Amino acid sequence: MIHPLIALFQQRAEILDMQGSKATAGDAIGMLAAWIEANQDRLTEDDLAVLGEIGGLLYRDGLRRRG
């Protein structure tokens, strides 16, 4: 069984595909950075570490796709 949050990600990806979205990993990085900045005062150091890791993975994936 797929974890409910993974299923949500899959569902959102399918919706983006149906909508013909051209959003990229770079767009996701921008949205993540904006969200972190807006919520930084409520995030713990552990939260920031995990979100930083996610941003790093997206950034690395985006670089590989461009290169």
| pTM for the whole structure | 0.84
- Report the distance separating Cα 37 and Cα 42, nearest Å: 10
Query: Which pLDDT value is given to residue 66?
Result: 78
Nearest to 30 by CA among 8, 59, 6, 9: 59
Cβ-contact 55, 17 below 8 angstroms: no
pLDDT in tens, the chain (67 residues): 899 999 999 999 999 999 999 999 999 999 999 999 999 999 999 999 999 999 999 999 887 887 7
pLDDT for the residue 58: 93
